[in-house]
A and B are shown apart, each in its own frame.
Chain A
Amino acid sequence: MTELTFTLLRLGFLVLLWVFVFAAIGVLRRDLYGTKITARKGRGTQETHPATGATPSRGSAPSRGAAPSAPTPAAPAPTGPTRLVVTAGPLRGTTVPLSASSILLGRAPSCTLVLDDDYSSSRHARIFPQGGTWYVEDLGSTNGTYINDRRITGIEALPPGVGVRVGQSIVELQR
């Protein structure tokens, strides 16, 4: 073989090596650039994605942050609140979609929203719908449940957008 062939073979192999390396990195591209880290601290209410069953087409695209933040409420209940959002506390940004059943807040693992919070009781409060309206009920918690810095006793109506403080967390209903 001629010197030229050898040189071409040698450089060709190096090119192939780097092609492989860049192909591998290309597969990892999503990991390198695409993931979005959400820090719960120091962030306002996280944009949420109601993600009804009608939007199964969310691909594996990692650019979730670019997704529209305007919520598109579930169709069946256009007027009432559709979700419960934690707006402050260690779980800020967590949402729980509302259904016809009640939501139990507390530290017990059986709760709907398990608060990881030393200031809440194991079964702290209950938020439930009745006749189209949502109500909040304190379940005899140690540190109390507050609406607008007022400790509630018994059952109170809970309009959307009004924060309920449970321990260190504030939750509110949103449309």
Chain B
Amino acid sequence: MATVEPHTAASTKRPSRRAEAGLLVLALALGIGSYASVGFGLMDQLPDNFLLHSLVLVVLAVGAHVVLRIKAPYADQVILPVTVALNGIGLAMIGRIAIGGSIVGSPSDLATKQLMWTVLGVVAACGVVWLLRDHRTLRKYSYTAMIVGLVLVVLPLLPVIGRNINGARIWVNIAGMSLQPAEFAKIAFAIFFAGYLVTNRDTLALAGPKVLGLQLPRLRDLGPLVIVWAASLAVLIFERDLGTSLLFFGLFVAMLYIATERFSWVAIGLSMFAVGAVVAASAFPHVQARVDVWLNPLAPEIFGRDPGGSGQLVGGMFGLANGGLTGTGWGQGYPRLVPYAYSDFIYTSLGEELGLAGLLAILVMYLVLVERGLRTAIGVRDGFGKLLAGGLAFVMAWQLFVVIGGITRIIPLTGLTMPFVAQGGSSLLANWLVVGLLLRISDNARRPSSLPVRGQVAPSQTATGPSTGPQPVAVGAGSQEAVEAGEASAAVGPSRGAPSQDLPTQVVRTDRPQDGGDPMTGATEIIDDTERKNL
């Protein structure tokens, strides 16, 4: 895997995060502007709670920005604004549907609840950034994360707290709040996969028989992975939740591929999935119904079927058609005609009122978000961070594909939420946690490190340098930057109890910089490291 060094090489002072502040202003303008447009479109006046709504958004954005300035000054500057913008647009659309509902006489408190969950989500993300100094701490809890993930997956099946809503048993009811534990399980599984694979990927990749040119892994290396794979199957069978099962499975295959760089895993995964899909489609009537709806939504007998008709999907398609290129404008469409227009089908609601132009902009925002995640994975120096960031970024992209693919009939429809936009507290909270983790990892990835990187130009010595003693002293120990930053223990060295394989292969051992020599000279190089896999 290649390692890309941060750009902010020469500056030892903290970056100002001005780009983030500017983008946040735009993002807030989007969120607040969309909510104002909703009011004008529906009622010719601002919505009732417009001031409160805007104030909450502004306070959250500014608060998160300040937390990042204090605790993660090097973190990626685009992740937060894009997330705030998406969340703001989602809040506006949910508010629009709630207001539309109250106009026709079916009021709901979805919008206020979603705003509350947004607050909770941002606070949680800030908490992650604030409390988690170094993402590698999480590696110690790999197996704990596996247990937590499995428990979360099984939770809805428990008799007292589990709830069966709309045929899928994926909810738990705790203290009056409905939660979808699977949303949190995806984070736990990402942590587990990252921790497990970073230690075992070599055996997974290299040991084992070779069949038909594919390097197959040994069975005993597969143990924990098979457990998780079985868990995701159990989700499909016992909880009747196609989407979550697909989500876990995709995460699982993608992280194996990132860790081992073996195409065989993708081949095995896809074939296992194909078998599973065929079996599920023939064995479970509800899956069969989904496939019918996917293939022939406009057939009269499928459209009118109850349950399992294609009315929702077709309604969504008509909504998209009504939106056209530039949309009907906020508050001018009829998104409420589609069931669950505020959660599962918020994509078509947005498509109807913002049009293809708006949808593409939103998709590009997601693309940017995922790209930042993957870029963080490339930039971070330790294997665990690479896998975790890569896995989290992938799972977001994958979730989006499953949702939007289902709505636009690329794949059969499954019930997943569009991250940050769709109504649903668990999804919102879990995705903000993902953002918090990505921000934390990106801060560690972009923080200037005194460690030399393979092939990099070493820090120079002035000839008046140390004339005594051998040169190879402790690598980068206590360079000025690291001491100054105080919390740079992440990047400093093996003496801090970090596992040694978390460090990049170091080849250039340098003396400590003299005369305040910048330890980061020449760090913009990217090292193409494809011939070797160790990080």
Contact = CB atoms under 8 A, between A and B. Distances in A.
Contacts of B306: none
B23 A101 contact: no
A156 interface: no
Nearest to A109: B506
A96 B471 CA distance: 11
24 contacts: A10-B327, A10-B328, A14-B326, A14-B361, A16-B26, A17-B357, A17-B361, A20-B365, A30-B7, A37-B2, A37-B526, A37-B528, A38-B527, A48-B457, A51-B460, A60-B8, A60-B9, A76-B464, A94-B508, A95-B458, A97-B460, A101-B469, A101-B511, A102-B470
Given A62-B7, A101-B469, 19 more contacts: A1-B44, A9-B329, A10-B326, A11-B326, A13-B30, A13-B33, A21-B364, A23-B22, A23-B23, A28-B78, A38-B525, A48-B457, A51-B457, A53-B462, A53-B518, A97-B510, A98-B461, A99-B461, A101-B471
A125 interface: no
A150 interface: no
A20 B330 contact: no
Given A21-B368, A101-B469, A101-B470, A116 B505 contact: yes
Contacts of B78: 24, 27-28
A175 interface: no
B463 interface: yes
B499 interface: no
B523 to A, nearest CB: 10
B349 interface: no
Interface stretch (B34-42, B260-268, B429-437): B34-42
Contacts of A23: 22-23, 26
Contact of B463 (A59, A77, A115): A77
A153 interface: no
A70 interface: no
B19 A27 contact: yes
A103 B521 contact: no
Contact of B23 (A16, A20, A51): A20
Interface of B: 2, 4, 7-11, 19, 22-23, 26-27, 29-30, 33-34, 37, 40-41, 44, 77-78, 81-82, 85, 326-330, 332, 354-355, 357-358, 361-362, 364-365, 368, 371-372, 375, 454-472, 505-511, 514-518, 521-522, 524-528, 531-532
Given A17-B358, A35-B4, A91 B33 contact: no
A171 to B, nearest CB: 12
Chain A's interface size range is 35 or more
Contacts of A97: 458-461, 510
Interface string A24-54: 1101101100111111110000101111110
A14 B330 CA distance: 11
B31 to A, nearest CB: 10
Nearest to B456: A94
A40 B527 contact: yes
Contacts, number: 221
Nearest to A96: B458
Contacts of B332: 6, 10
SS class of chain A's interface: helix, strand, loop or mixed? loop
Contact of A111 (B509, B514, B521): B509
B13 to A, nearest CB: 12
Contact of B454 (A94, A98, A101): A94
A21 B526 CA distance: 27
Contacts of A152: none
Nearest to B327: A10
A151 interface: no
A21 B531 CA distance: 36
Given A38-B455, A100-B465, A74 B10 contact: no
Closest 7 CB pairs of A and B: A10-B329, A76-B463, A51-B521, A17-B361, A99-B461, A39-B528, A101-B471
